[in-house]
Amino acid sequence: MSTTTSANGADEIIRLENVYKIFGPQPRGRALKLAKDGLTKNEVQAATDHVVGMTDVSFEVKRGETFVLMGLSGSGKSTAIRTVNKLHDITDGKVLVDGTDVQRLEGQDLQKFRQKMGMVFQHFALFPHRSVIDNTGYGLKVQGVDKDQRDKASLEALNLVGLGAFANSSPSELSGGMQQRVGLARALASDPDVLLMDEAFSALDPLIRRQMQDEMMAIQAELQKTILFITHDLNEALRIGDRVCIMKDGAIVQVGTPDEILTKPATGYVAEFVQDVDQGRVIDVSTVMTQPVKVDRSMSAKDLLTAIGDDGGFVVDSDGRPTELVMAKDVYSAATNGDGLGAAFSAEFDTTTADAKFNHVYAHAGKGKILAVTDGDGKLVGVLKPKDMIEEMGRVESLIDGFEREVFM
Ligand SMILES: Nc1ncnc2c1ncn2[C@@H]1O[C@H](COP(=O)(O)OP(=O)(O)OP(=O)(O)O)[C@@H](O)[C@H]1O
Ligand SMILES: [Mg+2]
């Protein structure tokens, strides 16, 4: 199959050219004409009772790129992704994948074409009576791949998402996050060129969601798939996207790198979206925190250090609220000074909440202590480690103006 090379020389795999999608009984009638004349989604709807899903949408995705479509509910993200594998017919324009005019594909050709696209949705339904590995290989089964071969591919995919050990489990034994991983494994099992991910992580808890983002980025670094990823969360978009496309009312408002979106918003709409983002606020505490290690005072120095590594852990009360912090370095010095281990525990520690903005807490990294992250009830739900905070600040460094890095030096 031929590939298209865009003007700047990068190999491009998906291209939408002036695509319109109108929903209604006569999509190609007056509604399309008005949309082409530049009327907005609301104006077209008021005049014709037709819904504009996409209006004059053009973008291209490069091979190996993670391209994120971001926008509020109803902005046309799902409509756009669905035109790429022809789950939707377009009303006007052109969709090219790997040089193929998608709109012209029918029957067997279309089926074959779709096999090169892995799709992952927000709510991924597993067959409850099939094992994890059979669920993973389901797409391959539909394609007529024999059992040995599909088990091999499924196991490889499950290993990639960290679920190899659960191959023979039943879906009911998996958490929501793990089930979503099976969705990703199913998409990966047929070794697609392109992954289409529609709000794939949106239903997950912040912590699990961040883990999934990390894993997906690691898988992406290894396999170099092309990923078209949809989210309505700007944090997620900026975190994982090589480029981000912001949509509003079926139209594209801006396409750019996370940097460009943040520093050169194309319109007031984008500026408003990112206004809270410019000072490192792009990140919620929940996106930086990691699983807390819980310890108790009866543990030996060895057990404590095994549990907390080079970091720290918290003692929690019967309601799960943090009461004392113990840092590895204090365990060492208590052991060396012969002070007794109790001296390593301290009721003085800082606390923040999962939904707080990262810029309000990053200065704490300078204290060299881990921060407790609590939920609305004061329960310990995560920790912020100084080294993770510094790493995160380094990652967004280029996005942030005037950030006082001396704090960490
Ligand atoms: N099958 C359909 N029939 C009629 N209208 C539709 C259909 N699918 C989508 N639309 C309309 O097209 C517009 C874009 O919808 P779309 O699902 O693409 O939005 P979205 O950005 O994915 O939103 P969300 O974040 O809620 O998933 C909306 O106004 C929606 O009501
Ligand atoms: Mg959608």
**pLDDT for 3:** 46
Contact 292, 383 (CB under 8 A): yes
Ligand 1 centre to CA of 37 (Å) is 21
Average pLDDT over residues 277-298: 78
Average pLDDT over residues 181-196: 92
Residues with CB under 5 A from ligand 2 (ion): 78
**pLDDT for 166:** 96
The CATH number linked to 268 is 3.40.50.300
- Nearest-CA residue for atom 1 of ligand 1: 23
Same domain, 216 and 256: yes
Ligand 1 centre to CA of 233 (Å) is 17
Ligand 2 centre to CA of 131 (Å) is 29
Query: Which of 255, 274, 293 marks a domain boundary?
Result: 274
**pLDDT for 383:** 95
pLDDT grade, residue 177 (50/70/90)? Answer: confident
**pLDDT for 176:** 83
The CATH number linked to 318 is 3.10.580.10
Same domain, 361 and 302: yes
Ligand 2 centre to CA of 68 (Å) is 13
Does residue 39 sit within a domain? no
Ligand 1 centre to CA of 79 (Å) is 6
Does residue 169 sit within a domain? no
User: 70-79, 111-120, 343-352: which range is least confident on average?
Assistant: 111-120
- Does the pLDDT at position 277 exceed 70? no
Query: Which of 231, 248, 274 marks a domain boundary?
Result: 274
Same domain, 255 and 219: yes
**pLDDT for 231:** 94
**pLDDT for 282:** 57
Same domain, 83 and 214: yes
**pLDDT for 281:** 47
pLDDT digits (tens, 9 = 90+) for 122-132: 777 789 999 99
Q: Provide the mean pLDDT of the chain.
A: 87
pLDDT grade, residue 212 (50/70/90)? Answer: confident
pTM above 0.85, yes or no: no
Domain count, the chain: 2
Distance CA 301, CA 319 (A): 25
pLDDT grade, residue 406 (50/70/90)? Answer: very low
Same domain, 231 and 292: no
Ligand 1 centre to CA of 363 (Å) is 42
Same domain, 338 and 258: no
Angle between helices 206-223 and 176-189 (to 10 degrees): 20
Does residue 358 sit within a domain? yes
- Does the pLDDT at position 57 exceed 90? yes
**pLDDT for 336:** 84
User: 47-51, 107-111, 243-247, 264-268: which range is least confident on average?
Assistant: 264-268
Query: Which ligand approaches the C-alpha of residue 53 most closely?
Result: 1
User: 265-279, 367-381, 391-405: which range is least confident on average?
Assistant: 391-405
Same domain, 314 and 257: no
pLDDT digits (tens, 9 = 90+) for 382-393: 999 888 877 776
Residues 6+ apart with CB under 8 A from 339: 333
Distance CA 195, CA 226 (A): 6
Helix (H, G, I), strand (E, B) or coil at 66: strand
Q: What percent of the chain has pLDDT over 70?
A: 89
pLDDT grade, residue 2 (50/70/90)? Answer: very low
**pLDDT for 234:** 86
From 16, 73, 119, the mutation candidate for ligand 1 (largest count of ligand atoms within 8 A of CB) is 73
From 23, 49, 82, the mutation candidate for ligand 1 (largest count of ligand atoms within 8 A of CB) is 23
- Does the pLDDT at position 83 exceed 60? yes
**pLDDT for 393:** 65
Helix (H, G, I), strand (E, B) or coil at 303: helix
Distance CA 270, CA 318 (A): 45
Q: What percent of the chain has pLDDT over 90?
A: 61
**pLDDT for 395:** 53
Backbone angles phi, psi at 254, to 5 degrees: -160, 140
- Nearest-CA residue for atom 11 of ligand 1: 53
Q: Which domain holds residue 225?
A: 62-91+106-116+192-274
Average pLDDT over residues 217-221: 89
Ligand 2 centre to CA of 220 (Å) is 23
Q: Which residues line ligand 1 (CB under 6 A)?
A: 23, 51, 53, 71, 73-79, 232
Same domain, 258 and 304: no
Instruction: List, as one string, the DSSP characters of 125-150.
Output: PPPTTS-HHHHHTHHHHHTT--HHHH
- Nearest-CA residue for atom 14 of ligand 1: 76
- Nearest-CA residue for atom 3 of ligand 1: 23
Query: Which of 274, 306, 333 marks a domain boundary?
Result: 274
Instruction: List, as one string, the DSSP characters of 306-332.
Output: HHHTTSEEEEE-TTS-EEEEEEHHHHH
Same domain, 293 and 401: yes
Which atom of ligand 1 lies at the shortest distance from residue 81's CA? 18
Same domain, 357 and 291: yes
- Does the pLDDT at position 65 exceed 70? yes
Which atom of ligand 1 lies at the shortest distance from residue 69's CA? 21
Which atom of ligand 1 lies at the shortest distance from residue 53's CA? 12
